[in-house]
Structure 1
Amino acid sequence: MKILLLGEYSRLHNSLKEGLTTLGHEVIIVGTGDSFKKFNTDYSIYPKLFNDYWFLRKFKNLIYKLSGYNLEETEKGYRFNKLLHKLKGFDHIQLINSDAIETQPKQALKLYKKLLKQNRQMSLLICGDDTPIIEYCLNGDLKYSILTPYLQKKAPANYFKYSLKYLKPNYKKLFEWVKNNSVCIVTSDLDYEIPMKAMGYETHFIPNPINTDTITYNQPEITDKIIIFLGINRLSYIKKGINFFEEALTIIQEKYRDKVEIIITENVPYNEYIKLYDRAHILLDQTYGYDQGYNALEAMAKGKVVFTGAETEFTQQYNLTERVAINALPDTKAIVNELSYLIENPNEIKAISLRARVFIEKEHNYIKIAEKYIEVWST
Structure 2
Amino acid sequence: MKILLIGEYNRAHKFLKEGLIKLNHEAIVVGLNDGFKKVDVDILIKPYLEKGILKKIRVLFFKLFRYDLHSYFTKRQIIKHKNKLSGYDVIQFINESSFLCQAKTEKEIINLLTQWNKKVFLLSCGTDYPSVKYAFDKKLRYSILTPYFEKRLPKSSFSLGLKYLEPEFIELHKHMYNTIEGVISCDLDYTIPLKDNFKHLGLIPHAINTDKIAFTPLKISDKIVIFHGINRNNYYKKGNDIFEKALEIVKGNYNEKIKIITVENLPYHNYIKAFDEAHIFLDQVFAYDQGYNALEAMAKGKVVFTGAEQEWLDYYNLKKDTVAINALPDEKAIAKKIEWLILNPEKLIEISKQGRAFVEKEHYYIKCAKQYLNKWQTNF
TM-score range, shorter-chain basis?
A: over 0.9
Aligned residue-pair number: 377
Query: Residue in 1 aligned with 2:111?
Result: 113
Alignment partner for residue 272 of structure 1, among 270, 273, 291?
A: 270
Distance 1:66 1:287 in 2: 39
Q: What is the CA distance between 1:175 and its match in structure 2?
A: 1.3
Query: Residue in 2 aligned with 1:39?
Result: 39
Distance 2:34 2:104 in 1: 21
Distance 1:303 1:70 in 2: 43
Alignment partner for residue 305 of structure 2, among 281, 304, 307?
A: 307
8 Å CA contact 2:249, 2:332 repeated in 1: no
Task: Give structure 1 stretches of 5+ with no counterpart.
Answer: none
1:252 aligns with 2:250: yes
Alignment partner for residue 144 of structure 1, among 138, 142, 145?
A: 142
Q: Identify which range, 364-373 or 146-155, moves more after superposition.
A: 146-155
Distance 2:82 2:233 in 1: 30
Deviation track 1:31-73 (CA, whole Å, cap 9, x = no partner) reads 110111100111111223x125x32123223334566543233
Amino acid at match of 1:262: I
Query: Residue in 1 aligned with 2:346?
Result: 347
Distance 1:311 1:99 in 2: 28
1:291 aligns with 2:308: no
Query: Residue in 2 aligned with 1:78?
Result: 76
Q: What is the CA distance between 1:254 and its match in structure 2?
A: 2.6
1:227 alignment partner, SS class? strand
Q: What is the CA distance between 1:153 and its match in structure 2?
A: 2.0
Query: Residue in 1 aligned with 2:2?
Result: 2
Change (3 A) 1:58 1:318: same
Distance 2:201 2:119 in 1: 17
Distance 2:323 2:333 in 1: 18
Query: Residue in 2 aligned with 1:27?
Result: 27
8 Å CA contact 2:181, 2:199 repeated in 1: no
Deviation track 1:188-241 (CA, whole Å, cap 9, x = no partner) reads 000000111156653321000111111000110011111100110112111111
Query: Residue in 1 aligned with 2:323?
Result: 324
Query: Residue in 2 aligned with 1:211?
Result: 209
Amino acid at match of 1:245: F
Superposed CA RMSD in Å reads: 1.5
Q: Identify which range, 251-260 or 216-225, moves more after superposition.
A: 251-260
1:154 alignment partner, SS class? coil
Distance 2:74 2:233 in 1: 19
Alignment partner for residue 223 of structure 1, among 213, 221, 224?
A: 221
Q: Identify which range, 110-119 or 186-195, moves more after superposition.
A: 110-119
Change (3 A) 1:73 1:235: farther
Distance 2:224 2:178 in 1: 51
1:51 aligns with 2:50: yes
Q: Identify which range, 22-31 or 249-258, moves more after superposition.
A: 249-258
Change (3 A) 1:97 1:198: same
8 Å CA contact 2:160, 2:237 repeated in 1: no
Query: Residue in 2 aligned with 1:14?
Result: 14
Query: Residue in 1 aligned with 2:371?
Result: 372
Distance 2:63 2:223 in 1: 48
Distance 1:55 1:321 in 2: 53
Amino acid at match of 1:154: R
Amino acid at match of 1:25: H
Q: Identify which range, 155-164 or 222-231, moves more after superposition.
A: 155-164
Distance 2:10 2:280 in 1: 20
Distance 1:209 1:303 in 2: 17
Amino acid at match of 1:87: L
Distance 1:15 1:277 in 2: 21
Distance 1:121 1:199 in 2: 19
1:96 aligns with 2:94: yes
Q: What is the CA distance between 1:353 and its match in structure 2?
A: 0.2
8 Å CA contact 2:13, 2:29 repeated in 1: yes
8 Å CA contact 1:193, 1:203 repeated in 2: no
Matches within 5 A, 1:160-239: 160=158, 163-198=161-196, 202-239=200-237
1:335 aligns with 2:334: yes
**TM-score (normalizing by structure 2):** 0.96
Distance 1:232 1:161 in 2: 14
Amino acid at match of 2:239: G
Distance 2:130 2:154 in 1: 22
Amino acid at match of 1:56: L
1:258 alignment partner, SS class? helix
Distance 2:159 2:22 in 1: 39
Deviation track 1:258-286 (CA, whole Å, cap 9, x = no partner) reads 11110001111011000001111110001
8 Å CA contact 1:93, 1:122 repeated in 2: yes
Distance 2:256 2:62 in 1: 49
